[in-house]
Each structure stands twice: as structure tokens, then as C-alpha cells.
Structure 1
Amino acid sequence: MDMERVLKGTPWTFNNHLLLLHKLQVTKDPLIVPLICTPFWVQIHDIPAGYFSERLAIQLGNFIGTHMEYDGSNLGKEN
């Protein structure tokens, strides 16, 4: 039960480094498990009013990795 909570609660960090976890099957070779990426939310602050758009969010997401999803629900708010 604890293992499932940890695996579903990603992303995790240790010492400010991203920690990737994978439930290894008994027959799997651990040397071929592709621990190369994981999705996580990024929040950008101090973008001038009027400049933030879905297009900019996609460009920023693709700059740091691969953009997957955009949530503009807080646009125009003080947050």
C-alpha cells in the first residue's frame, strides 16, 4: 500500500534532484528500465500582464522539456 502511494504520488525529489521510481517486475532486467523522464507541473512567476498566453506557456514548456498540458485558470488573478 505504501509503495503504491509513493509511485502514484510522483514527482519526488531528493536533495533537490528529481527522483524517478519504477515498480520492477520479477522477470524484468533492471538495466533496461527507461528511467529517463517524468511529467511534472511548472509554475512561472513575474510574466508581465498581457504577455502570458497559451502560446507562451507552450513555448516555455518546450524550452525546458516537452509541453504536455496548459492550465490558464489563474490568468488575470493576483496569484
Structure 2
Amino acid sequence: MDQTSLTLIGELLTVRSYNFEALQRTLKQRDREKVLDGAPWNFDNQLLFLKHVHGGEQPESIVLDKCPFWVRLYNFPLDSRTKGDVTIIARNMGEVLEVEEDDLGWDKSRRVRVLLDVTKPLRQSQKI
């Protein structure tokens, strides 16, 4: 097994100082797959970017500008609640990673996991 297959690179989005040793201790206690699947993460109330490292990459060249978030979409018409409909709308925000299942289509909202560009301001809400 390649050493880099277990490696993550990260960046803490903050302007404040933080305890790097405490961050390292916290991350060492986590399973890599659970960390990636459970994103976004925060440390000391600041957003923590984590990304899998592939063997041929230089750490300095890895761009950490996108982070997965669960987004809740509300007030779909009854005939527009399919996974495809939700995906089309969510694509306006970013790359759609997952759409939470709603087999009956009766929930008031749908949750979608979207890879958001965090260099852009986040909107609290948007009417479509």
C-alpha cells in the first residue's frame, strides 16, 4: 500500500491563531474515510478543508477552494420532487454529490450534498 493512500491535506479557513498541535491530535483520532464522508468539519469554529492526496501531487499545488455541504431545498411543487428535478436545481449551486432519498415525495424539503466554492459568499436563501 502506498503511503499517500492514507494521506489527507488540509487547511483551516481562519484569520485567527489556533493550536496546531491540538488540531493534529484531533485529526489523528479519526478514520480517513469517515473524515472525508463527514465533511464539512470545523475546528475551533473555523471551516476545515480536507482533501485526499494523490501520489504525484505537490502539497503546495493542491487548491482547497471547494467543500461539500448539505443544503436543504424547500417548497417544491408536488410534480417537481424527483431526484432528477432536485439535482437540476442543486447544480446551480455547485457539483451535486448526493441527493437524500425521499421515496414518497411528501417531505417539505430535500437535502442535497453539494460541493460549494467557498471563495464565493454563501447565500442564506435564494428563491428560484
Identity %: 23
Cα–Cα, structure 1 residues 49 and 13, in superposed 2: closer, same or farther, change >3 Å?
A: farther
Determine if the alignment matches structure 1 residue 10 to structure 2 residue 34: no
Aligned to 1:41: 70
Where in structure 1 do 4 or more consecutive aligned residues deviate above 4 Å?
A: none
- Paired residues, what number? 75
Q: What TM-score comes out, normalization by structure 1 length? A: 0.58
Determine if the alignment matches structure 1 residue 70 to structure 2 residue 95: no
**Partner AA of 1:2 in structure 2:** T
Aligned to 2:17: none
Could you say what the CA RMSD is over the residues aligned between the two structures, in angstroms?
3.5
Q: Secondary structure at the match of 1:77?
A: coil
Rounded to whole Å, the distance in 1 between the matches of 2:51 and 2:97 is 21
Rounded to whole Å, the distance in 2 between the matches of 1:78 and 1:60 is 16
Shift of 1:30: 4.7
User: Does 1 or 2 have the higher relative contact order (CA < 8 Å, sep 6+)?
Assistant: 2
C-alpha distance after superposition, 1:6-46 (max 9, x if no partner): x71420368xx85424589xxx8553122122322221012
Q: What TM-score comes out, normalization by structure 2 length? A: 0.41
Structure 2's unaligned 5+ residue stretches are: 1-24, 110-128
User: Of 32, 47, 52, which residue of structure 1 is paired with 2:81?
Assistant: 52
CA contact (8 A) 2:75 2:108 kept: no
Q: Is the strand fraction higher in 1 or 2?
A: 2
